[in-house]
Chains A and B, each alone.
Chain A
Amino acid sequence: MSATNHRWQRDVQIYKYPLLSAPFLFWGVLAIIGITLSLGRLFTGLWFTGMSDDYAWGVWKTFNVMTLTALGSGGLAVGVFSYVFGAKKLHVVMRTALASSLLFYTTGMLALGIDVGRPWNLYHLFLPWNWNLHSSLFEVAACMTAYVVLFLSFENIPMLLEKAHMVGDAERRAKLNVWMHRVKRMLPWMIAAAYVLPMMHQSSLGSLMVIAGHKVHPLWQTQMLPALYLVQAFVCGFAAVIFILMASSLAWQRPLDMPVLADLSKYMSWTAFAFIVLRAADVLIRGVVVEAFRPTWYAVLFHAENLLVLVPALLLLSPVRRMTPRIVFVASILTAVGGILYRFTPTTLAYRAGHPSVYFPKIAEVLMSLGYIGLAVVLFIWAAKKFAILPGSINDWNDYVKHVTSKDAHGQETIKGLRIEHGAATDH
Chain B
Amino acid sequence: MTLSRRDVLKSLGTGAAVAATGATTVAASSRNPQPPTDAIAMLYDATTCIGCKACVSACTTANGLIPDTTLSGGIWQMPTDLNPQTKNIILLAKDGDKHSFVKRQCMHCVDPACVAGCPFTALEKGKYGIVEWDGSKCIGCRYCEISCPFDVPRFEWAEFNPKIVKCEFCNHRLAEGQQPACTEACPTGAVIFGTRQQLLQVARQRIEANPGKYYQDRIYGEGDLGGTQVLYLSHLPFAKLGLPEVGTESRAHYGTKVHNVIYKGMAIPLAVYVVLAAAIKRRWKVMEEEAHREEKETGLPHQL
Contact = CB atoms under 8 A, between A and B. Distances in A.
Interface of A: 1-4, 9-11, 43-47, 49, 51-54, 56-57, 83-84, 86, 88, 95, 115-119, 121-122, 124-125, 130-139, 141, 158-159, 162, 183-184, 187-189, 191-193, 195-196, 199-200, 203-204, 207-215, 223, 226, 353-355, 388, 394, 397, 417-421, 424
A211 B159 contact: no
B158 A45 contact: yes
A394 B117 contact: no
A46 B140 CA distance: 10
B149 interface: yes
B136 interface: yes
Nearest to A204: B259
Contact of A117 (B139, B258, B304): B139
B216 interface: no
A116 B141 contact: yes
A213 B297 contact: no
Most buried by A among B139, B254, B256, B279: B139
Contacts, number: 217
B299 interface: yes
A310 B161 CA distance: 46
B35 to A, nearest CB: 19
B157 to A, nearest CB: 5
Interface in B106-165: 113, 115-121, 135-143, 145-147, 149, 151, 153-162
B230 to A, nearest CB: 17
A355 B91 CA distance: 13
A212 B143 CA distance: 9
Given A3-B294, A132-B119, A117 B259 contact: no
Contacts of B147: 211-212
A214 B283 contact: no
B162 A134 contact: no
B133 to A, nearest CB: 11
Contact of A136 (B259, B294, B299, B300): B259
Contact of A210 (B246, B255, B301): B255
Contact of A188 (B139, B143, B156, B284): B284
Interface of B: 26, 28-29, 81-83, 113, 115-121, 135-143, 145-147, 149, 151, 153-162, 244, 246, 251-252, 254-260, 262-263, 269, 272-273, 276-277, 279-281, 283-284, 286-287, 290, 294, 297-301, 303-304
B281 A188 contact: yes
A134 B300 contact: no
B277 A189 contact: yes
A84 B284 CA distance: 9
- Interface SS of chain A: helix, strand, loop or mixed? helix
A158 B303 contact: yes
B283 A117 contact: no
B118 A135 contact: yes
Contacts of B269: 196, 200
Nearest to A118: B140
A51 B157 CA distance: 8
A136 B298 contact: no
Most buried by B among A44, A134, A388: A134
Nearest to B254: A213
A45 B140 CA distance: 11
Contacts of B280: 83-84, 188, 191-192
A420 B117 contact: no
A214 B162 contact: no
A130 B118 CA distance: 10
Most buried by B among A49, A51, A83: A83
Most buried by A among B119, B120, B151, B284: B119
Given A121-B120, A200-B269, A207 B160 contact: no
A187 B143 CA distance: 36
B80 to A, nearest CB: 9
Contacts of A417: 301
A335 B146 CA distance: 28
B29 to A, nearest CB: 7
Contacts of B153: 53
Most buried by A among B147, B155, B159: B147
A86 to B, nearest CB: 5
Given A57-B146, A118-B140, A191-B280, A184 B259 contact: no
A124 to B, nearest CB: 4
Lowest 8 A-B CB distances belong to which pairs? A117-B140, A211-B255, A354-B151, A138-B119, A118-B140, A56-B142, A192-B277, A56-B145
30 contacts: A2-B297, A4-B297, A47-B159, A53-B151, A56-B146, A56-B155, A83-B279, A83-B284, A84-B280, A88-B287, A124-B137, A131-B121, A132-B116, A132-B120, A134-B29, A135-B119, A137-B117, A137-B119, A138-B119, A138-B120, A139-B259, A162-B301, A184-B304, A187-B284, A188-B281, A211-B116, A212-B251, A213-B149, A213-B246, A421-B299
Nearest to A223: B258
Given A43-B160, A199-B272, A211-B146, A421 B298 contact: yes
B31 to A, nearest CB: 14
B252 A211 contact: yes
Contacts of A9: 298
B120 to A, nearest CB: 4
Given A3-B297, A419-B299, 19 more contacts: A53-B154, A83-B279, A84-B279, A84-B280, A117-B140, A124-B139, A131-B121, A132-B115, A132-B119, A134-B28, A137-B119, A191-B280, A196-B269, A208-B143, A210-B259, A211-B254, A212-B251, A212-B255, A421-B299
A188 B277 contact: yes
B81 A211 contact: no
Contacts of A420: 299
Contacts of B279: 83-84
Contacts of B140: 116-119, 121
Contacts of A46: 157, 162
Nearest to B296: A419
A257 to B, nearest CB: 15
Nearest to A187: B304
Nearest to B302: A10
B145 A213 contact: no
